[in-house]
Amino acid sequence: MSNKGPDADPENSAEGGQSSTGALLETLRTVVIAVLIALGVRTFAYEPFNIPSSSMEPTLLIGDYLFVSKLSYGYSRYSLPFSPNLFDGRVFFSEPEAGDVAVFRTPRDVKTDYIKRIVGLPGDEIEVRGGILHVNGEPAKRERLLPSELEAYDYPSAQGAVYMETLPNGRRHLIHEQVDTAPWDDWGPAKVRPGHFFAMGDNRDNSQDSRSRSVGQIPFENLVGRADVLFFSHDSSASWWEVWRWPAAIRFGRIGDAIQ
């Protein structure tokens, strides 16, 4: 009489093989579903961006990572990955408000994402005099912050002055002015064309924005989305391999902040 162990039982071997195959297929199915969900969220809801320049300081710092809401302004070809030319204009369009921080493609280089603050809507007249923004002839209010107040914004060493600016519609945000006599501190006036928006960086003397011919006014179809919340931030003081220095480089106080 022969003794057959489990490994010698053809039925058991087949069942074991089927079980392993089923588990692998289920894992692949889960991964594919997760990837599709992530792509759907990135395409139609929120897309992550990082800040590589100082043009939006002190609101956004180099090393900030943020989520941009594509739901806010509806969708154009530039809202979608690879910008496929599937339709003209926008669908489900909601007009931005003055004071929104928006990501957009510049008219001259539709491959590059810019992030600036929208300060002018279609029909508005924009002018800058002595560093002070005017919208339809009304100056934005500026209140200078003390150095001690800047520490709360992780921006204590600014050269020049940092102000709390209030737009005519009541929206408030920080701006940085090194001087009030830079070339773009006296600009305009110019009227915002229909279907366009006027955008400026919060670092007013260090920003290529709608005051510049290289950027100009932003067509509504070039909007990608509204910057909503910071999900990570670091100050670049630690290299990727300096794991032991990572905790000190992370700006924990900025994580989760809404973008004003």
Catalytic residue IDs? 55, 116
Task: Specify which residues 226 forms β-bridges with.
Answer: 69, 102
Distance CA 226, CA 70 (A): 7
Instruction: Give the burial class of 145: count Cβ atoms within 10 A of its Cβ; 0-12 exposed, 13-18 middle, 19 or more buried.
Output: middle
φ and ψ at 163, to 5 degrees?
A: -120, 150
- Of 188, 222, 216, 181, residue with least CA distance to 200: 216
DSSP state of 25: H
